[in-house]
Amino acid sequence: MAEPVTPTTPARAFRLGVAGPVGTGKTSLIALLCRELADEIEMGVVTNDIYTDEDAQILRAAGVLEIDRIRAVETGACPHTAIRDDVTPNLIAVEDLEHDHGPLDLVLVESGGDNLTATFSPALVDAQIFVLDVAGGGDVARKGGPGIARADLLVVNKTDLAPYVEVDVERMLRDASAARDGGPVIGLSRHDATSVGALTDWVRHMTAAVREGRHTPVDPGPMAPHSHADEDGHVTVHSHEHEHDHGHAHPLGDEQPVR
């Protein structure tokens, strides 16, 4: 009788979400991770943009990863739906990447950011990073929200800009840590090698923890109600509080038009 086979590679890659407001540096952080880690672990990237594949194009142009390992999902009006309620297009993109380039160790998924409320469903990612930046103001970390409070890692980015925007980084990091009950927080600047090392060490550690089954995905919690404008300028407010057992492009049940 054949010996039972002990798997040496995991069944699938570690899926790591990167969320946070527009412009805080999610695409830059992903480019940084690819640049630092692609020689030692097998990686892929999935980006989410509302109408374009601009983030994927930026990453491809940066030359940090083989072009075909960077895939784009166009989310339509609500970027949250694609990472929270109906994750199917993202799951298909991740699985296609693994099929074409696997076995992969790590797939990074960038959310289409817009405000402080976006969090990934654990159905899509095993862990998530929430990205703030000092330019958004020193008090942002105190404002809380599910991503700030309960993402697996909070990054306070662009610390090199702190003197120009008059933010006390140490205080912002202390506030962030308090908002997270001591959960991990990294102050990051791509110009500061020590902070880049702290980020890559966290990712290495998590990749190993997921591979060895030592990590349990946690849902940071539902988003607060928020609004979107469609192409005709109509604005609707909705929330993602209710879990849906069926997939659809946009949950309509709790939407209210804003005039």
Ligand X SMILES: Nc1nc2c(ncn2[C@@H]2O[C@H](COP(=O)(O)OP(=O)(O)O)[C@@H](O)[C@H]2O)c(=O)[nH]1
The alpha carbon of residue 60 and the mean position of all alpha carbons in its chain are separated, in whole angstroms, by: 18
**Which residue in the set 15, 190, 238, 240 belongs to the binding site for ligand X (CB under 6 A)?**
190
Least CB distance to Mg ion at residue 119 (A): 16
Least CB distance to ligand X at residue 196 (A): 9
Residue with tokens 């002990």: 6
Cα dist from 175 to 143, 169, 184, 202, whole Å: 10, 10, 12, 20
State the Cα–Cα distance between residues 246 and 16, nearest whole angstrom.
Answer: 24
Structure tokens at 242: 């209710």
Least CB distance to Mg ion at residue 49 (A): 8
**Among residues 18 and 210, whose Cβ is nearest to Mg ion?**
18
**Among residues 27 and 81, whose Cβ is nearest to Mg ion?**
27
**Among residues 24 and 117, whose Cβ is nearest to ligand X?**
24
Cα dist from 93 to 56, 82, 99, 145, 252, whole Å: 13, 12, 10, 28, 25
Using CB under 6 A as the binding rule, whether residue 195 contacts ligand X is answered as no
Backbone angles phi, psi at 132, to 5 degrees: -115, 170
CB 46 within 8 A of CB 108: yes
**Among residues 15 and 26, whose Cβ is nearest to ligand X?**
26
Sheet holding 235-238, edge to edge: 226-229, 235-238, 256-258
Structure tokens at 136: 């958004």
187 assigned to a ligand binding site: no
Residue nearest Mg ion, CB atom distance:
27
Question: Which of 256, 197, 207, 251 is closest to 78 using CA atoms?
Answer: 251
Number of residues that bind ligand X (CB under 6 A): 14
Using CB under 6 A as the binding rule, whether residue 47 contacts ligand X is answered as no
Least CB distance to ligand X at residue 130 (A): 11
Structure tokens at 63: 């030359």
Q: Of 35-94, which residues contact Mg ion (CB under 5 A)?
A: 55
Task: Provide the 3-class DSSP secondary structure of residue 235.
Answer: strand
8 assigned to a ligand binding site: no
Least CB distance to Mg ion at residue 110 (A): 6
Amino acid present at 150: R
220 assigned to a ligand binding site: no
Using CB under 5 A as the binding rule, whether residue 111 contacts Mg ion is answered as no
With CB under 5 to 8 Å by kind, the binding choice for 157 among ligand X, Mg ion, none is: ligand X
Q: Which residues are annotated as a binding site for GTP?
A: 20-27
For ligand X, the binding residues (CB under 6 A) are 22-28, 113, 157-158, 160-161, 189-190
**Contacts to Mg ion by CB under 5 A:** 26-27, 55
